[in-house]
Amino acid sequence: MTATQPTTRTQPTVRTCPFDLPEEYRTLREQDPIIQGTLPDGVPGWLITRYEDVRAVLADPRFGASRPRMVGGDADGATPAPPPGTFIFLDPPEHTRFRRLLTGRFTVRRMQQLTPAVEEIVAERLDDMARAESPVDLVQAFALPVPSLVICELLGVPYADREEFQRNSATMISLTASPEAFQEAREAMRQHIHRLVLAKRADPTDDILSELVQTGELTDEELAGVGSLLLLAGHETTANMIALGTMCLLRNPEQVAALRADPTLMDGAVEELLRYLTIVQFGLRRVAREDVELHGHRIKTGSVVVAALSSGNRDSTQFADAPDQLEVGRKYSPHLAFGHGIHQCLGQQLARVEMKAALGALFKRFPTLRLAVPEEDVPMRHDMLVYGVHELPVTW
Amino acid sequence: MKVIIDENKCVGAGQCVLAAADVFDQRDEDGIVVLLNPLPPDDLGAQVEDAALRCPALAIEVVK
């Protein structure tokens, strides 16, 4: 069957439950697996919502990633080209050159070897939290510091610089930041890393930026771009998974009880939280590099396609057993939380190690942990590309 | 069961190691997949198929 006129509408963004997707996604998956419309920042594009389509598009070389980013665009969606080294917006063979330089530094083995160091960072933050008077904001006390400290240590970025880079990161993924504010934040971030690169070239230390400098494979400009990307991606996403994951577990005490009764469920619980919460809330963008036909519609060269990761992760054809319920004992099925295809998250093994250490220790150390405000008063990140909570007041 | 890998496609995501650590490893230098056992025993079949399914770069082929 060939559809003649695609449905046109805006990408759904309004949630009625903090953990569930906008209700329209279910209807789209069932009735309209591809629609043409407007994305949250006003860019026109095609939206795909089914698990199989999302996986297929992200693995399909006919769809490229060399598209200016999601926010900070002009009205027509055009943005200045991303700075050198921003490899998530590159296609092969340029992308391959950067990815190959980095993958050895983020292997399963290397990341699992970091577990004791991550657990120590987690324990120190929890000690501080225990000494503080409750309620505390779990984001500032725990969820944001843990991945920030870890990525700073790995990259060789002084943790003292955190206020600056956390502020710039937040602006770069805000849907409401003006193009000027976005550019300014991106440039400040890039210059910050550029200064560090110059310092490490003169005096290398034991960290990823120094190692990359010493390979001689990248220019200082490229290194500044790579470093900015790793710094941003390394703390924003995991921080929100830890905070939103905590809030979600507090809503599902029987799941916490199951984890307490059987700690071996932890690996699966992390995967399930990744699937269930899928914090890249508006999906990933690709651009058709040639005309492609999908569900009877011709996607013309140059068109933007949005692969809705969060919708794919709630698709009942893939996750047959109550996909809208959190089930820490769920049998593993490949989820899309880290994306798919050649750009699949480079830091995913680090994220797993951090989530496991952080959530495990938090609920062990504070068995009576609970929200300090009604759930509906928790400020949710509807306005950010990375979903989560702006604050999470907790007590114990 | 026979496993074939394509190093050129591999993007070092490490999903195969999580799925079937007895069959797949990663090179320390560049994270690229290392095939530990191209002819895994049948009892690892489900893990190997899981690895192939998870691989984001479609770099693992399983021949039965």
Give me the pLDDT at residue A75, please: 43
Give me the pLDDT at residue A69, please: 53
**What pTM did the predictor assign?**
0.95
Q: Above 60 in pLDDT, residue B30?
A: yes
Among chain B residues, CA nearest to A103: B31
What percent of chain B stands above pLDDT 70?
100
Give me the pLDDT at residue A3, please: 52
Contacts of A332 in chain B (CB under 8 A): 50
Count CB neighbours of A196 within 10 A: 24
Q: Contact A103/B56, CB-based, under 8 Å?
A: no
Token pair recorded at residue A80: 């200045």
Give me the pLDDT at residue A330, please: 94
Adjacent-strand bridge partners of B24: B35
Helix (H) or strand (E) holding A60: none
Q: Contact B12/A345, CB-based, under 8 Å?
A: no
Residue written as token pair 């990408």? A11
Token pair recorded at residue A392: 């999470």
Contacts of A343 in chain B (CB under 8 A): 11
Q: Contact A103/B58, CB-based, under 8 Å?
A: no
Give me the pLDDT at residue B60, please: 98
Give the residue from A54, A62, A103, A270 with the most B CB atoms within 10 Å of its CB, the best one to mutate.
A103
Give me the pLDDT at residue A175, please: 87
Residues 348-377 of A with CB under 8 A from B: 348-349
Count CB neighbours of A15 within 10 A: 15
Q: Contact A344/B56, CB-based, under 8 Å?
A: yes
Token pair recorded at residue A381: 């990140």
Among chain B residues, CA nearest to A61: B57
Give me the pLDDT at residue A5, please: 76
Nearest CA among A308, A344, A314, A312 for reference residue A327: A314
Residue written as token pair 């009877």? A296
Give me the pLDDT at residue A126, please: 98
Q: Are A279 and A388 in contact (CB under 8 A)?
A: yes
Q: Within a 13 Å sphere around the CA of A134, how many CA atoms are in the beta-carbon half?
A: 15
Tally: H helices and E strands in chain B: 2, 4
Kindly give the parts of chain A with pLDDT less than 50: 1, 74-75, 77
**Nearest residue, CB atoms, B26 vs list A101, A109, A334:** A109
Q: Contact B56/A100, CB-based, under 8 Å?
A: no
Token pair recorded at residue B21: 């650590």
